[in-house]
Structure 1
Amino acid sequence: MQNEKHTAEEAASVATRVAGAIGKGLVAGLIGTAAMTIAQMVEMQLTGRGASNTPYKAAKKVFGVKAKDKESKKTISNLMHVAYGATWGVPRALMAEFGVDGASGTMAHFGAVWGTELTVMPSLHVMKPVTEWKPKAISEDMLFHSIYAVATGLAADALVRWSNEDDED
């Protein structure tokens, strides 16, 4: 009986930690997305580059969403960008919650996020494979995803650390 009680308490503790990490991850992902978006907006102002419609193309392909006009495409792209970034914060916070934090957590997270973009988007036929990109485009995309991963990682690590400090009180 004692072992069963102990096991149930451990399971409840893990479930609570996972649930908390999901919330922290969504917040961290939003912070990372905001940082990435600001960097992209600055770059677009400096270079005159327009916003990407790849998020819209992915939403259309995956969810069957169809925009009525350019403004709707822009709105859908922005919503997909934010939802995607917020969602990717969850695994980063889960890593932090269970001990993979700091630079190692951020590097693993960056690899997962950028690697997914570079494999999934071309497989959906909404983006060219990275092998067909110009070096400048690769470096810019890597930079933006690095900004996202670092900001998300710092936020996730801080949120988990603060939460765990509160639990100790």
Structure 2
Amino acid sequence: MVTTGTPSLTRSIPRGMAAGIAGTAVMSAFQQVVEMPITGREASYAPADLAERILPIHPQTQQGRERLNWGTHMALGTLWGSAYGVTTHVGLRGVKAFAVVFPAVYTGDVLLNTVLGLYKPGTWTAQEWAVDLTNKAVQAAATGILNDYLFNKDQEVLPAE
């Protein structure tokens, strides 16, 4: 089967962004239902910490901090999704797209947070690495699957010649 062309960036990036929001929701559900009950880890405020470090936003209440955390969490997921939009544009799907997006975006995430003084990966235990990698791999995989679905759902497919 052959699809009818490569999608434009103006089509593929917004779809990737939508997939990124949904993929972030999947990761959040995974954390709440699977990971945190197993590990006993408390909720993370790393997204809020990042926003407070780089933006002039400093909530005065716990509710405000939780809203900032959730909003930043979704915004970061949207950015991860845009990377999938780019891979769609260049023709990568599935495992190949994951193999490009996950290491690039995860490394960027760890480096940015480390440079900003928010992460200290040199001090993380094996469990902390496993939790971080697993949660973000769930997000990246869910985003990729959803991105592929959004891309493929309205593509005209022609029989192979």
TM-score range, shorter chain: 0.7 to 0.9
Partner of 1:148: 139
Q: CA deviation at 1:26?
A: 1.4
Q: CA deviation at 1:153?
A: 0.7
Q: CA deviation at 1:97?
A: 2.7
Greater alpha carbon shift after TM alignment, 100-109 vs 135-144: 100-109
2:49 to 39, 47, 57: 57
Amino acid across the alignment from 1:54:
A
1:109 and 2:105 aligned? no
Which digits, 9 at most, give the CA deviation of each residue in 1:2-31, with x for residues without a partner?
Answer: xxxxxxxxxxx98x7111112201111012
Q: Structure 2: how far apart are the matches of 1:94 and 1:144? A: 22
Q: CA deviation at 1:87?
A: 2.0
Partner of 1:135: 126
Unaligned runs of 5+ in 1: 1-12
Q: Structure 2: how far apart are the matches of 1:145 and 1:87? A: 13
Q: CA RMSD in A?
A: 1.9
1:45 and 2:37 aligned? yes
Asked if 1 retains the 8 angstrom alpha-carbon contact of 2:9 and 2:85, the reply is no
Asked if 1 retains the 8 angstrom alpha-carbon contact of 2:80 and 2:140, the reply is no
Partner of 1:34: 25
Structure number with greater Rg is 1
Q: CA deviation at 1:161?
A: 2.0
Q: More helix per residue: 1 or 2?
A: 1
Alignment of 1:51-90 (within 5 A): 51-90=43-82
Partner of 1:92: 84
4+ residue segments displaced more than 4 Å: none
Which digits, 9 at most, give the CA deviation of each residue in 1:20-64, with x for residues without a partner?
Answer: 112201111012101110111122234432211111111111112
Q: Structure 1: how far apart are the matches of 2:134 and 2:36? A: 14
Q: Structure 2: how far apart are the matches of 1:19 and 1:155? A: 18
Greater alpha carbon shift after TM alignment, 119-128 vs 39-48: 39-48
Unaligned runs of 5+ in 2: none
Partner of 1:162: 153
Which digits, 9 at most, give the CA deviation of each residue in 1:113-165, with x for residues without a partner?
Answer: 2111211001011121x221000010111111111111111111121222332
